[in-house]
Chain A
Amino acid sequence: MTAASPADPAKAAQADETAETTEIAATVETVFRIESARIIAGVARIVRDVGLAEELAQDALVTALERWPESGVPDNPGAWLMATAKHRAIDLVRRKETYARKLAEVGRALEDISPPDPADLARTAEDIDDDLLRLIFTACHPVLSTQARVALTLRLLGGLTTEEIARAFLVPEPTVAQRIVRAKRTLAQADVPFEVPYGDDRNARLSSVLEVIYLVFNEGYSATTGDDLVRPALCEDALRLARVLAGLLPQEPEVHGLAALLEFQSSRIAARTGPGGEPVLLADQNRTKWNRLLIRRGVEALQRAGHGPYSLQAAIAACHARAIRYEDTDWTAIAALYGRLMALAPSPVVELNRAVAVAMAEGPAAGLKLVEALAEEPALKDYHLLPSVRGDLLERLGRHEEARAEFARAAALTRNARERALLLERSSG
């Protein structure tokens, strides 16, 4: 309606109604996004099938979109959606006689169908936590491929659309959709129980969950110097998942270790790229751009961390975060922590990082000796950081000719365009 148009009460009322419906639809979608993981988890406990649970949760969303414009948004929209989805789930289970033996369990689920009584909140919150944990462990179940675990976790727990996941991982959307469908089918066919693992395989299963979150984060982190903004958003999705997991498993030191690591890494994102989007090395980063809130959260999480691989990496990240200037970095402590990481989870990449720390603590010659030992390592054959680090150390030793050759080699290996430009610049002296 423009100010110049003749006043038409009927039209105005209609316009108001349309605006209100649009606003309510937006509210429904927002509430659903906030609640969807919990709803899927709560429904999955009843139907014991995450694929079906997701469909029932979507049904509840559609019902809300139909009803709320008329009835108004309920006071507790999340509880409304949860109750609606659970009612559907129970109806479905009842209709299927094959599920008769599950009715005993469902009877228990019926009790929390009505909106929660404040007195029950503590118990209900614990139930929801337990359902969420089951959903996380199911989505990251070893019966699934790593790719499937990642896609399913982002879809069910991160609330990402298949389109968002496809863009983030640079694959066609139908591929991701297929991956998710197959993953749900695999879980159903393997009859994977919807439960939190206890006993012997709990640690292995928890490692699988941590690995999925770490992979998602790294996918985003490696892309923060690219030119796509969707991929770096994965860092935040992973960080949120890590925070959620730390809230659900407060007794697990390694979960806090992962959360701390991701808080520290995230605190540096804004400083990792220059004005033209070019990558900025740790030594050259403007540390005033490091996010102090995230560093503080990292320090808090680290206090609850343990001695596992993520906790050690978090401790290393903390050493960098504590240094107000690059010159203040405690490289001796970092080298020692990499040594502990090598003893715990040896890998050529960790050894390469240890070499860098040793070079900083004891001089480039000591570091180069460790790097030379990695020259024949097959796992690092195409790893651009090996020649890149070697070039750095050679340069610091005044061996410029050899250094330039290493930078040229590294430039040929990197897949990141901006990084390649930086390395080519160094290779031409």
Chain B
Amino acid sequence: MPRYLSMIRVDEQNPPAEGPSPELMERMGALIEEMTKAGVMLDTAGLTPTSEGTRVTWSGGKISCTDGPFTESKEVIGGYSIVQAKDKAEAVEWTKRFLRTHEEFWTITVEVREIVAG
């Protein structure tokens, strides 16, 4: 039963003005609880804005650091989850359910990637 890392990509420049609604948080909470109880959700969390992040690069034998925000990327990772599922189709199905908890004015892309075992 492989594990998958889902990276939740959001458009940081144009977030919905009022932020996540209480109803959204409630629906999401219920889904996360359901996934945890189903033995699927292993770990999930949101991330602080890229304005608080730093990119550390190794190139040409030199280290360089760039502080956020990272405005050149249209979408940045705003959260992640690690799930365990029988196959990718199952992980994708749970991802669809996660996305459906959001109102229609949201634009979110979740990238589902299998974690290399071992």
Residues of A within 8 A of B (CB): 26-27, 29-31, 33-34, 75, 118, 121, 125, 129, 159, 233, 236-237, 239-244, 247-248, 270, 289, 293, 297
Q: How far is the CA of A293 from the CA of B89 in the complex (A)?
A: 23
Are the CB atoms of A125 and B30 closer together than 8 Å?
yes
Are the CB atoms of B89 and A26 closer together than 8 Å?
yes
| Chain A residue at smallest Cβ distance from B38 | A244
Are the CB atoms of A270 and B117 closer together than 8 Å?
yes
Cβ contact of A237, chosen from B1, B36, B82, B92, cutoff 8 A: B1
Are the CB atoms of B82 and A236 closer together than 8 Å?
no
Would you mind naming 13 contact pairs between A and B with Cβ atoms under 8 Å apart? A30-B90, A30-B92, A33-B86, A121-B30, A125-B34, A129-B37, A241-B39, A242-B39, A243-B39, A244-B39, A247-B36, A248-B37, A289-B118
Are the CB atoms of B37 and A30 closer together than 8 Å?
no
Q: How far is the CA of A239 from the CA of B33 in the complex (A)?
A: 17
From A33, A129, A159, A248, name the one whose CB has the most chain B CB atoms within 10 angstroms: A33
Digitize B82-108: 1 where CB-to-A-CB distance is under 8 Å, 0 elsewhere: 101011011011100000100000000
From B30, B37, B43, B90, name the one whose CB has the most chain A CB atoms within 10 angstroms: B37
Q: How far in angstroms is the closest Cβ of chain B from A101?
A: 34
Digitize B38-61: 1 where CB-to-A-CB distance is under 8 Å, 0 elsewhere: 111011000000000000000000
Chain A contacts for B34, CB-based, 8 A: 125
Across the A-B interface, how many residue pairs have beta carbons closer than 8 Å?
Answer: 52
Q: How far in angstroms is the closest Cβ of chain B from A213?
A: 11
Are the CB atoms of B1 and A293 closer together than 8 Å?
no
Chain A contacts for B36, CB-based, 8 A: 243, 247
Are the CB atoms of A75 and B100 closer together than 8 Å?
yes
Main secondary structure of the interface of A (DSSP, over half): helix
Are the CB atoms of A293 and B37 closer together than 8 Å?
no
Are the CB atoms of B118 and A34 closer together than 8 Å?
no
Q: How far is the CA of A293 from the CA of B92 in the complex (A)?
A: 21
Q: How far in angstroms is the closest Cβ of chain A from B10?
A: 22
Q: How far in angstroms is the closest Cβ of chain A from B42?
A: 6
Interface size class of B (residues with CB under 8 A): 20 to 34
Assuming A125-B30, A240-B1, A293-B82, is B100 touching A34 (CB within 8 A)? no
Chain B contacts for A239, CB-based, 8 A: 39
Assuming A33-B86, A243-B39, A247-B36, is B93 touching A233 (CB within 8 A)? no
Are the CB atoms of A236 and B89 closer together than 8 Å?
no
Chain B contacts for A247, CB-based, 8 A: 36-39
Q: How far in angstroms is the closest Cβ of chain A from B87?
A: 8
Q: How far is the CA of A29 from the CA of B34 in the complex (A)?
A: 20
Cβ contact of A236, chosen from B33, B84, B87, B118, cutoff 8 A: B84
Are the CB atoms of A297 and B42 closer together than 8 Å?
yes
Are the CB atoms of A236 and B1 closer together than 8 Å?
yes
Q: How far in angstroms is the closest Cβ of chain B from A328?
A: 24
Are the CB atoms of A34 and B38 closer together than 8 Å?
yes
From B27, B30, B42, B86, name the one whose CB has the most chain A CB atoms within 10 angstroms: B86
Digitize B62-80: 1 where CB-to-A-CB distance is under 8 Å, 0 elsewhere: 0000000000000000000
| Chain B residue at smallest Cβ distance from A236 | B1
Chain A contacts for B27, CB-based, 8 A: 118
Assuming A125-B30, A270-B117, A293-B42, is B84 touching A240 (CB within 8 A)? yes
Q: How far is the CA of A242 from the CA of B27 in the complex (A)?
A: 25
Q: How far in angstroms is the closest Cβ of chain B from A377?
A: 37
Chain A contacts for B38, CB-based, 8 A: 34, 244, 247
| Chain B residue at smallest Cβ distance from A30 | B89
Q: How far is the CA of A244 from the CA of B40 in the complex (A)?
A: 9
Assuming A26-B89, A247-B37, A247-B39, is B1 touching A270 (CB within 8 A)? no
Q: How far is the CA of A293 from the CA of B1 in the complex (A)?
A: 15
Q: Which of B1-28 contact A (CB under 8 A)?
A: 1, 27
Are the CB atoms of B100 and A27 closer together than 8 Å?
no
Q: How far in angstroms is the closest Cβ of chain B from A229?
A: 10
Are the CB atoms of A244 and B37 closer together than 8 Å?
yes
Q: How far is the CA of A246 from the CA of B27 in the complex (A)?
A: 22
Are the CB atoms of A233 and B43 closer together than 8 Å?
no
Cβ contact of A30, chosen from B30, B33, B43, B93, cutoff 8 A: B93
